[in-house]
Structure 1
Amino acid sequence: MWDSIKTYVLILPVFLLIDLTWLGKIMVNFYKSELGALVRLEGDSLAPVLWAAIVVYLLIPLGIVLFALPRVDPQNVLVSSLSWGFVYGVILYGVYDMTNYSLLNNYPLRMAVVDIAWGGVLCAVVTSVAAMIDRLLK
């Protein structure tokens, strides 16, 4: 259990750094144009509700440690961690985006598809980092 807690704590900044770079630098204009009036802005920057963003950034890596990491095959760490992380990310982001698409007026399908793909890639990368950390701790 302590190894899982250590792994969780160590992947938090990895997840945060990668996702904030994606959201705040690489894709900021895409998200602003796709979401239009739905997006919270402060000047030209995204301005999320801080407490809600913190909850998201605590929960997603926790899910990686609890649901994706235990499925990683110790005989094939890289491929299985990328695969299970990708599956976890697509499920998680898919539920979020498809719920938004089904319930919100004008939620762009293009946005949903890009976000689901991003969730898969992000969680795949972070799960592979978590798997490496987990191996080092054991």
Structure 2
Amino acid sequence: MKRWLLSWLIVMIVFAVVDIAWITMVVLPMYEDELGSAMSESLDPVAALAFYTIFTAGITHYGVAPGSDRGMGGRAVRGGLYGFFTYSTYALTLKVILDTSWALALSDIAWGAVVCALTAAITSLILRNLPSTTEAE
């Protein structure tokens, strides 16, 4: 349980840093152009915290899989698949409900796969190099 919680904390930090950078520097203008007045004028911190808490638990469980014998490559692939499926659900739902562009949907899906694969791989690398863990590559 300690290994899983440590893994989840690292995943949360890595994912949040990379995802927030992506949102603020790359994708926010796309969302503003496409959604305009449908976007909230303020951030809901409770919803954001709930998303990051739940979503990173998924990356931890399905991608990093603490205690498994998967190597870093296997963790990256499984993390990427988790991101692909979850971001596809989100992006295609937006496409159906709000008629967003295919460019936005496909960029979200690609981002989900990449960020989750990177997060799982980076977390695996960090855990492998921590002296207090016996995490397999």
Please give the TM-score of this superposition, normalised by the length of structure 2.
0.83
- Confirm or deny: 8 A CA contact 1:73 1:80 kept in the other structure: no
Summarize the alignment of residues 67-86 of structure 1 with structure 2, pairs less than 5 Å apart: 67-70=62-65, 74=69, 76-77=71-72, 79-86=73-80
| CA offset digits 1:61-81 (Å, max 9, x no partner) | 10011112239984642x222
Specify the alignment match of 2:121 in structure 1: 128
Q: How many matched pairs?
A: 131
The structure 2 residue matched to 1:115, chosen from 79, 83, 108, is: 108
Which AA in structure 1 matches 2:102? L
Summarize the alignment of residues 1-138 of structure 1 with structure 2, pairs less than 5 Å apart: 1-41=1-41, 47-70=42-65, 74=69, 76-77=71-72, 79-102=73-96, 104-135=97-128, 136=130, 137-138=133-134
The whole-number CA distance in structure 2 between the counterparts of 1:75 and 1:124 is 14
The whole-number CA distance in structure 2 between the counterparts of 1:27 and 1:99 is 17
| CA offset digits 1:26-76 (Å, max 9, x no partner) | 3321221122222224xxxxx431111111111111001111223998464
Which AA in structure 2 matches 1:51? V
The whole-number CA distance in structure 1 between the counterparts of 2:82 and 2:46 is 24
The whole-number CA distance in structure 1 between the counterparts of 2:58 and 2:69 is 19
Shift of 1:95: 1.1
- Tell me the C-alpha RMSD between the 2 structures: 2.2
Structure 2 unpaired stretches of 5+: none
- Confirm or deny: 8 A CA contact 2:11 2:59 kept in the other structure: no
Structure 1 unpaired stretches of 5+: 42-46
Shift of 1:83: 1.3
Shift of 1:92: 0.6
Which AA in structure 2 matches 1:100? L
